[in-house]
């Protein structure tokens, strides 16, 4: 089984704390090659960091934000990054046609997971639970 980290689980890992510790422990129980990210999560987090950088004019504060942006890139480089490819795009269109009502980026993440037979690790069970046949687990809680 391949597990895809949703954006929120990546954010947890970056912030640290109790939920992050639980998640890290669970991730240690699977082979590193069985954990992946999606290009959509990478896009979401990158857009967030770029927006924060754009709002700050103080170069000293920007240094901190650029350091965080670089750390995020390094974190994503440690595991496989799964594309939004033709299969995922077709799955995305099928989910749209089926009128699955969740945000576009979440729908793309779900489509990638379905197209690649992956289990999505997320705390966002309420939205992703609306996607038929999507395997969803929350590894931030015991």
pLDDT tens digit sequence for 8-18: 999 999 888 99
Homologous superfamily, domain 2-38+80-137: 5'-nuclease (3.40.50.1010)
For residue range 11-61, what is the model confidence (pLDDT) as tens digits? 999 888 999 999 999 999 999 999 999 999 999 999 999 999 999 999 999
Cα(98)–Cα(142) distance, integer angstroms: 33
For residue range 120-134, what is the model confidence (pLDDT) as tens digits? 999 999 999 999 999
Look up the pTM and report it. 0.93
Q: Is 136 left (phi over 0), alpha (psi -120 to 50) or beta?
A: beta
Inform me whether the pLDDT recorded for 142 exceeds 90.
no
Helix pair angle (7-15, 39-55), 10° resolution: 60
Domain ranges of the chain: 2-38+80-137
For residue range 108-122, what is the model confidence (pLDDT) as tens digits? 999 999 999 999 999
């Amino acid at each position: 089984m391949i597990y895809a980290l949703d954006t929120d689980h990546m954010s947890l890992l970056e912030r640290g704390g109790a939920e992050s510790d639980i998640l890290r422990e669970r991730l240690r129980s699977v082979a590193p090659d069985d954990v992946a990210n999606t290009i959509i999560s990478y896009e979401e987090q990158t857009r967030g960091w770029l927006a924060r950088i754009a709002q700050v004019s103080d170069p000293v504060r920007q240094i901190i934000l650029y350091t965080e942006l670089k750390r995020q890139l390094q974190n994503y480089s440690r595991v496989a990054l799964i594309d939004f490819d033709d299969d995922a795009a077709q799955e995305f269109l099928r989910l749209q046609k089926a009128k699955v009502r969740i945000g576009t980026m979440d729908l793309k993440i779900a489509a990638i997971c379905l197209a690649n037979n992956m289990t999505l690790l997320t705390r966002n069970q309420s939205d992703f639970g609306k996607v038929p046949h999507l395997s969803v687990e929350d590894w931030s809680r015991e």
